[in-house]
Every structure is written in C-alpha cells, then in structure tokens.
Amino acid sequence: MSDFRKSVVYQIYPKSFLDTNGDGLGELKGVTAKLDYLKELGVDYIWLTPFFVSPQNDNGYDVADYRSIDPRYGTMADFEELSREAGKRGIGLMLDMVFNHTSTEHEWFQKALAGDPKYKSYYIWKKGKPDGSPPTNWESKFGGSAWEYVPSFDEYYLHLFDKTQADLNWDNPDVRREVQEVLRFWMGKGVRGFRFDVVNLVSKGEFADDQQGDGRRFYTDGPRIHQYLREMNEATFGREEGILTVGEMSSTSMENCFQYAGADSRELSMVFSFHHLKVDFMGNEKWVLVPADFQRLKEILFSWQTGMAAHNAWNAVFWCNHDQPRVVSRFGDEGEYWKQSAKMLAGVIHCLRGTPYIYQGEEIGMTNAGFADLSQYRDVESLNHFRILRDKGMSEESVYNILKVHSRDNSRTPMQWDASENAGFTSGTPWIGVNPNCRTINAAAQVGDPDSIFSYYKALVRLRKDCSVIARGDFTPLDQSHPAVLAYKRSLPGEELICISNFYRKGCTWKCPEDLTGYAVRLSNYPDPQPGRETALRPYESMILLRRK
C-alpha cells in the first residue's frame, strides 16, 4: 500500500454506489458492504468523493462543515467502521478535500455575511465597476458570472463554481491554518490519502478583465500556489509516512505539474490533468459536438508521459471520474465491440507510467446515461447549460444531443450490481435514473466470468504488482503517427513491456518498430492474438506483450 507507484486507486461516488436503507441515496454503509468486491478487484486505495455536511447543490462539493458527515451519508461511527474494515483488507481510504471554496451555508460564510470582519476576510470580496456591473468579466465554470452581488456590503464575492460555492481567500494565513487543521483531523481518523479538489485554483493573481478568455489565466496555477502547497505538505501529510496525495489540476501546465508532483518538491504525490479529456471539445468549449481527435489524444498522453518522467514527476492516469462521460461510450463502442473496446481502453491506462484510477462501474464497462429529458438530469452544470444553450437559440433536440455526450450525469447513474429493476443499487427510488442496460451490464454477471471486463481489470491490477516495469520503467512511444493504433513500450533493465491498441472498429495493420523476439502475450482482449513484425489488428484489438531476460 505504501509505494504509490505500484498502487491502484478506486474512486467511489457514494451517492450512486450502494443504498442500504432504501432512501434512494447511497451511503458509507454501502461502501463497507462492498469491500470484498473491491478486495477481489485488488485495489489499494478507495477515494471517496465528499460526504461532508452539505446542501448538495453540487453533490457535496459545496461543503458546509469539513469535520461532520452529512446524515444522508451516515454517521462518524459508519465512517470509523468503514475505515476499520477497509484497513483489515489492506485498503486505505482517501478523502476528497474541497478547499478552493466552501458552501455559502458554511459557518464561516454565514459569519462573513453577518459582517464579522475575521470571517469576511476568509473570502474574496470586490466592489463592482463604476456602472455597478461585476468587478471582472470572469465566468463561472458552471455558466454565468463568477461574481455574486451582496447588497448589504455593496460588494461582490467570487465563486468560480456555483454561486453557493464561495471561493476562499488563501492569501489569508488564517484560512491556510484552518484547512491544515481539517487535514490533521482526518489524519487522526486514520485516513491514508487526500484528493484535493481544483487545488491549483486557490492562489488568485490579478483581478482584471480577461480580453482573451473566461478569466482562468488569472487564477490557474496562480502566483503563490507552490508556496501554499508546500506549506500544507510540511504542516500536515508530509509529516507522516506514506500518505498519498493527488491534486486535481484544472487547465494546468505541464511545467507547473513538474513541481506539483515532483519527487523532491514536497508538494503532492501526483496530479490529475485533463488535457487528454478535451480532445472532443473545441478548445476549452465543452458544449459542442466534435469527433475525438485521436492524434491529439496520443500527442497529449505521450508528451505528459515523457515530460513528467524527464522531470521525475508522477501522473495519476485515468479516463473516468464523476465529471467525465463513460469512456467506453466516449472512445470505445457501446455496441458490438463493447467488451473488446472497454478492455482495450483499460489496458492503455493501466500500463502507463503513473498511478491508475478506476471510477466505479468502469471495471464492468458501464456506459453513458442516455438521458433525453431534462427531468432526468440532476447536475447543476448540465441544468445551467441547458438554459444557456437554449437562450442562445439552440433547439431542444440539439441541446439534448450535447448533454447526452458531455453531461457529468453520464457517470453518476447508480452502480450496476445486478440485473434487478434498480440494478441492486436501491430498494427505493434512486435519486438519479438507473441505466436500463443493467439487465446485461452488471457486476453479478462479471465477477466470476474469466472473460469479463471485470476480470480484465483484475488482471491489469495484478500485472502492475507482478511487473516492476509498469511502475518503474521508462516510457517510449511507438509509431506515434499511425492513424488507428496507440502503442508504447515500457522498459527496465531485464524487463520490457509493449502495449498495442487499435482504437477503431475497423481492422488495421501495424508494423512493429521493435524486434519482438522473446516477447510473450501477457494479456489481450481476443483469445488468439498474433503479434508479429506486421500485426493484423481486429476491431479494438489490444495486446500487452512482456519480455524478461
């Protein structure tokens, strides 16, 4: 568990994982009930998205009390039981720390609103422009202005996300001390890791109009960010052996990540970056329909692999999380080649240099939600953008077509445990619709089947433990310009691995630039792979080859 390079993390969105009390919402007890399933998969850590007290306007990313558990998710005793039971199975818990902002229901913000100067300076307040309009033209990530007016102060507060998520003022040392205390509190409860939500946005720079964009260049990877991370590290998790930390880095640069996740920089263990998941955007514009740019995907993945390695820095590697559509729907095939493409995509991530993250349901090939009516959507970002796109004059049908592809709700439908009506998730009414394909796509059908997607993930987790080359080897792209294949080599003295994947439903030929003598197939998504000097690859065919000397 301690070497994070050999570890695999499993992400749980508790609300959609397992409901044990019939209220339609998953809770911590549901996670405890499924620990044996996770043990079977072989993961080392569980990252739990926020379960703290929250009005749930952004499903818990609007925290009203960092030290208490929202009764909807259970009690502190439930948490302690989960921690104990996970520990028995060699699984560590990672918590999700949302420190860029608090809910406006947080006591600090309530005191600020009541005029207490100490707490007012915990947040970011500015006067409007002379004409009364917001201080800058920055846009909220969820649509609309990033500023909200408070008449009693004749000032605006900053909210980079929803207006009920007020940005904290990290330039105030009291704020930085408060968040450190929260970390110490959870470390005292035996937590083994932290995921830091949008942590590269906490150091704000100049407050000025952005003539080129939505404002992000003024607060992303801001002026004092490295100082703040190092300070947090030294005051809290850096004092204890083996606490895994990962920063969610929004629109970051690789140069900054060298430092955020550098082996010697004493900031964080690793970073999530998202550039590879914008290859089906138009620049930063997500609410469009454009085909994924495969060459760009390779370029980004490979440049981060080689760049981070050259600077001795570490990546978190992933396709899926609670903000992203399901990868099999996105870069694979939901139909005929569902199983092959889900396995192929898994192999690509799990053999990279970095710590792989599996998002609940990914390991059984769960697909996008397919919601075609506004009443089915729950996410604030989707609901806001429905309105924004309609206001721009787009037809309802076109808006639904975009939401079906990009909505965050795609990944938030309940975990599909079995073929029963609500997929074994709840005996009540689920808070968000269950995908009807749970009849065929579910964990019960896959756990015991050696040919299932679940078994493939399990084999990949095992492979990382068995082969040091995955955790420690060098990374070399192979034949990067091939129109359909993503291939790379990992190498250590005495151990080499080659991962070859066809990303398309059309067969193709791939000429290996390496001599394959001595390589054997370790894993493949077809029963009879035939690697050679010229390999004929079938739809979505993928093979992982290993050579040991």
In terms of CB distance, is 199 or 546 closer to ligand TEU? 199
DSSP H or E segment with residue 152: none
Cβ(28)–Cβ(17) below 8 Å: no
Q: In angstroms, what is the minimal distance from the CB of 85 to ligand TEU?
A: 26
Under rule CB under 6 A, which residues in 520-539 are in contact with ligand TEU? Answer: none
Counting other chains too, the contacts that 323-326 makes at CB distance below 8 Å and 24 or more residues apart are 323/408, 323/411, 324/277, 324/359, 324/408, 324/410, 324/411, 325/368, 325/405, 325/406, 325/407, 325/410, 325/411, 326/361, 326/362, 326/366, 326/367, 326/368, 326/410, 326/411
How many alpha carbons fall within 13 Å on the CB side of residue 48? 28
In terms of CB distance, is 141 or 226 closer to ligand TEU? 141
221 binds ligand TEU (CB under 6 A): no
Under rule CB under 6 A, which residues in 399-458 are in contact with ligand TEU? Answer: none
Q: In angstroms, what is the minimal distance from the CB of 158 to ligand TEU?
A: 14
Backbone phi, psi, residue 88, to 5°: -60, -30
Q: How many residues bind ligand TEU (CB under 6 A)?
A: 13
Give the nearest residue (CB) to ligand TEU: 61
CA gap 210, 215 in Å, rounded: 5
In terms of CB distance, is 8 or 198 closer to ligand TEU? 198
In terms of CB distance, is 219 or 425 closer to ligand TEU? 219
Among 27, 96, 162, 248, the active-site one is 248
381 binds ligand TEU (CB under 6 A): yes
Q: In angstroms, what is the minimal distance from the CB of 198 to ligand TEU?
A: 5
In terms of CB distance, is 202 or 500 closer to ligand TEU? 202
CA 66 and chain centroid, separation: 21
In terms of CB distance, is 122 or 456 closer to ligand TEU? 122
Residue from 198, 328, 403, 461 touching ligand TEU (CB under 6 A): that is 198
The full length of the chain comes to: 549
Q: Which tokens belong to 97?
A: 């720390």
DSSP H helical ranges for 114-215:
117-120, 173-187
Q: In angstroms, what is the minimal distance from the CB of 15 to ligand TEU?
A: 12
Residue from 70, 197, 333, 362 touching ligand TEU (CB under 6 A): that is 197
Cβ(166)–Cβ(101) below 8 Å: yes
In terms of CB distance, is 399 or 461 closer to ligand TEU? 399
Q: Determine the 3-state secondary structure of 227 from DSSP.
A: helix
Q: In angstroms, what is the minimal distance from the CB of 122 to ligand TEU?
A: 17
Gyration radius (Cα) of the chain, Å: 23
98 binds ligand TEU (CB under 6 A): yes
CA gap 208, 379 in Å, rounded: 30
DSSP H or E segment with residue 458: helix 453-466
Q: In angstroms, what is the minimal distance from the CB of 165 to ligand TEU?
A: 6
In terms of CB distance, is 230 or 286 closer to ligand TEU? 286
Cβ(411)–Cβ(322) below 8 Å: yes
Under rule CB under 6 A, which residues in 308-327 are in contact with ligand TEU? Answer: 322-323
58 binds ligand TEU (CB under 6 A): yes
333 binds ligand TEU (CB under 6 A): no
CA gap 241, 250 in Å, rounded: 27
CA 28 and chain centroid, separation: 20
Among 58, 197, 363, 381, the active-site one is 197
Backbone phi, psi, residue 501, to 5°: -140, 130
Residue from 7, 32, 245, 250 touching ligand TEU (CB under 6 A): that is 250
In terms of CB distance, is 392 or 549 closer to ligand TEU? 392
Under rule CB under 6 A, which residues in 120-179 are in contact with ligand TEU? Answer: 141, 161
Cβ(261)–Cβ(225) below 8 Å: no
Q: In angstroms, what is the minimal distance from the CB of 255 to ligand TEU?
A: 20
Q: Determine the 3-state secondary structure of 53 from DSSP.
A: strand
Q: In angstroms, what is the minimal distance from the CB of 428 to ligand TEU?
A: 24
Is 148 tagged catalytic? Answer: no
DSSP H or E segment with residue 465: helix 453-466
Residue partners of 310: CB distance under 8 A and separation at least 6: none
SS (H, E, C) 316-378: EECCCCCCCCCHHHHCCCCCCCHHHHHHHHHHHHHCCCCEEEEECCHHHCCCCCCCCCHHHCC
Beta-bridge partner residues of 96: 195
Cβ(386)–Cβ(144) below 8 Å: no
Q: In angstroms, what is the minimal distance from the CB of 323 to ligand TEU?
A: 4
Residue with tokens 């309609």: 390
Beta-bridge partner residues of 501: 486, 542
Q: In angstroms, what is the minimal distance from the CB of 197 to ligand TEU?
A: 5
Residue from 72, 184, 266, 286 touching ligand TEU (CB under 6 A): that is 286
Is 36 tagged catalytic? Answer: no
In terms of CB distance, is 62 or 541 closer to ligand TEU? 62
Q: What residues make contact with ligand TEU under the rule CB under 6 A?
A: 58, 61, 98, 141, 161, 197-198, 248, 250, 286, 322-323, 381
| Residues acting as catalytic residues | 197, 248
